[in-house]
Structure 1
Amino acid sequence: MHRRRFLSLAAGLAVAGGCGRVGGTGAPVMNRLTIVAPAARGQGWDQAARALAAVLVAEGLARMVEVSNYPGGLGSAALGAFVTARGPFVREGRLLLTGMPMVAGAEIANAASVVKSTTPLARLVGDWAVLAVPVKSRLRSFEDFAAVLRRNPAGLVVGGRLEGGSDHVLYGMIGKCLGVDARLLDYAAYSGWPEAFEAVHDGRVAALLGSARSFMPEIAAGRLRPLVVSSAERIEGIDAPTLMELDVRLEYTDWCGVLGPRGMSREDRDAAVALCDRIDGSPRWRALCAANGWNRVYLSGDDFRQWLTTETGRTRGVLGELGLLSATATSYRHKLLG
């Protein structure tokens, strides 16, 4: 296989609790906190938003936490609703749950990047991906898949979630690593996994690429055969090698993190990052991550901002090669790069 390196990582609910301050953590007690989630209730990372709310109250880090849902548009609806906060963060703060789809959505819309329109605080968890085919597929291994893709990039239809979302971008990354022209890749987007599973089983798509934890039941039931996973190490319960094992230098997770409003004061930003640090260190949070199959990929503060800046550029590059950026956006990017 070609050796290329392409690393990437990859309605409302109100929860009320008692007062108090957690000593020695550096995280102040919030009076009221709103978490804006870019997904409908029960979908996407909404469950993570509600887990965050429960942990914040249980740990005594916030007296009341509300989750506000703004689904739609690769996170654009949530980003648009996330206006600059008023007053001190510790009195009435707002956090925006984010991830790769929101980063991609801003780039596709030729809007201000997520990193520039908010204050990056922390990357929390991620979900590894798996490439899988029906058990009767003639593609017995990832090597078979790669060989067909190199010979005829448009000959395989791969299904996943929204166009321009995490699965689509990962497919573009895999294509790049294999030396395939990403513009020729054929990708079918589905609103949910039930529709995608139906499509792969009736032959409308040759393979599915997406959430490892969502594929587990289909794999365990013997309906899907995993070909490869995007994690650094093999995933328990999925009998498939990693991309890295197969000399495809790519590690990727569909990550989830939190952002603060643009223009936060240094004091408010430090308080918000301390809050994230406290969450990641919470046994309650870690137990919820384990129970839900979320992989902790924690990174906070300036390290997260730097990573997000790099990841935004990498994502934009793949979106351009997939043909998902407008001519205006592409021309503007070339102008900026000189």
Structure 2
Amino acid sequence: MGDSGEKQMRRRRFLVWGLGVTACAAGCGTERTGGGVPRTGFSINPSGPRWAPVGRAFAGAARTAGFESGAGTPITVTGLPALAAAELNNGQSLLDTGTPLARLSGEVEVVVVPDASPVKDFDDFGARLVASPGRTPLVGGPQGEPDHLLFGLIAKALGADTRQVEYTGYPSGGEAATALLAGKGAAAAGPLTGWRAGIGRGRVRALAVSSATRVPDLDVPTLLECGVRVDFTDWVAAFGSEDMADESREAALRMCEAVIGSTGWEAACRAAGWLSIPLVGDDFARWVGTEIARTRAVLRDLGLLDTTKATTCWGSCGNGH
């Protein structure tokens, strides 16, 4: 990114894709001077219901860190599904439409099979996927969203024909679980928090987790341990609003850095089962650029993104669009 690009980034507008801005929950932060006089206020709003829990937790950790609720500079909490939606709808990327502030948290994904499945472990699953991607049905959340992206990344890393991957997306994790247990899928992917109960009850077996390191209380290998060069989380981040002035951006960056480095934020992430994955400012902006490129590539590999014509659907149209 050039010098002019960084300056432009600060002035870019943040548009919320898919779910729209939800005016719920969560004011956060009034930074104060030494004399206790409010200096800069922050208002944190999730860009949809799926991000409301993180927005509330972020606001709570901010209050604990000494930032009082109040109106002021708007900060939007959004994540990977919004990035993918923008790509699938031929929209402007998050870097084109917003001011990146900080990466906040991520949900670990897990690959599971029914307990009675003949698939013994991840190596066995991978071998089947490479040999017969079209006859190894996979299930998870809606097409183009994190579960589907993860399977695309896995297939690519294994050398499977990603255009032949047979994936069925469901509106909710519960519906995906029902489909898996009814024999409609050989394997499923989804947030670990959503599959923990099924793993604990012995209804499904976890083959691998998507994080770079193992989950402490789960005896399941990472994809990296299984020889798959994929480190993946369904991440959530904070972005500034339209025409964010340099002074407001710097104040917001200081607030974000203080909050996501606090013990209160770490405790909130542990309680919710999220990973705390702090990354702030220019480092975060560069990371978003790489994440956009990775997401765009896997959507193209899966046949969901056609660069030769407009793409107007996501989460509903089939492979080979």
TM-score w.r.t. structure 2 length?
0.83
Aligned residue number for residue 45 of structure 1? 51
Q: Does 1:167 align with 2:147?
A: yes
Question: Pairwise CA RMSD of aligned residues?
Answer: 2.2
CA-to-aligned-CA distance 1:199-218 (integer Å, 9 cap, x gap)? 11111111111111221111
The 1:156/1:16 distance shift into structure 2, 3 A limit, reads closer
Q: Does 1:140 align with 2:93?
A: no
The 1:18/1:165 distance shift into structure 2, 3 A limit, reads closer
CA-to-aligned-CA distance 1:258-284 (integer Å, 9 cap, x gap)? 101243221111111111001112222
CA-to-aligned-CA distance 1:79-119 (integer Å, 9 cap, x gap)? xxxxxxxxxxxx62211112111111111111111111100
Aligned residue number for residue 328 of structure 1? 309
In 1, Cα distance between equivalents of 2:232 and 2:243: 30
Aligned residue number for residue 156 of structure 1? 136
CA-to-aligned-CA distance 1:114-156 (integer Å, 9 cap, x gap)? 1111000000111111100010001111111111111111111
User: Could you tell me which amino acid in structure 2 is paired with residue 294 of structure 1?
Assistant: W
The 1:32/1:185 distance shift into structure 2, 3 A limit, reads same
Structure 2 spans left out of the alignment, 5+ residues: 1-21, 312-321
Give the Å deviation of 1:20: 7.3
- Aligned runs of 1:48-59 on 2, under 5 Å? 48-59=54-65
- Aligned runs of 1:289-328 on 2, under 5 Å? 289-326=269-306, 327-328=308-309
Structure 1 spans left out of the alignment, 5+ residues: 1-10, 65-90, 331-338
Give the Å deviation of 1:12: 4.6
Which one of the candidate residues 131, 149, 161 is aligned to 2:111? 131
1:128 touches 1:254 (CA, 8 Å); kept in 2? yes
The 1:18/1:244 distance shift into structure 2, 3 A limit, reads closer
SS in 2 for 1:50: helix
In 2, Cα distance between equivalents of 1:114 and 1:123: 13
Aligned residue number for residue 335 of structure 1? none
The 1:180/1:94 distance shift into structure 2, 3 A limit, reads same
Which one of the candidate residues 32, 37, 40 is aligned to 1:21? 32
The 1:107/1:12 distance shift into structure 2, 3 A limit, reads closer
Give the Å deviation of 1:180: 1.1
TM-score w.r.t. structure 1 length?
0.79
- Aligned runs of 1:226-241 on 2, under 5 Å? 226-241=206-221
User: Could you tell me which amino acid in structure 2 is paired with residue 38 of structure 1?
Assistant: S
Give the Å deviation of 1:157: 1.3
Aligned residue number for residue 43 of structure 2? 33
Aligned residue number for residue 161 of structure 2? 181
CA-to-aligned-CA distance 1:283-319 (integer Å, 9 cap, x gap)? 2221111111111111010000001011101110111
Give the Å deviation of 1:252: 0.9
User: Could you tell me which amino acid in structure 2 is paired with residue 61 of structure 1?
Assistant: F
In 2, Cα distance between equivalents of 1:14 and 1:227: 37
Give the Å deviation of 1:166: 0.8
The 1:31/1:18 distance shift into structure 2, 3 A limit, reads closer
CA-to-aligned-CA distance 1:206-258 (integer Å, 9 cap, x gap)? 11111112211110111110111112222133322111112111111111111
The 1:298/1:16 distance shift into structure 2, 3 A limit, reads closer
In 2, Cα distance between equivalents of 1:169 and 1:313: 13
In 1, Cα distance between equivalents of 2:238 and 2:44: 12
In 1, Cα distance between equivalents of 2:28 and 2:209: 40
Aligned residue number for residue 198 of structure 1? 178
Aligned residues: 287
In 1, Cα distance between equivalents of 2:30 and 2:276: 28
- Aligned runs of 1:237-316 on 2, under 5 Å? 237-316=217-296
In 2, Cα distance between equivalents of 1:212 and 1:173: 18
User: Which piece of structure 1 moves more, 294-303 or 321-330?
Assistant: 321-330
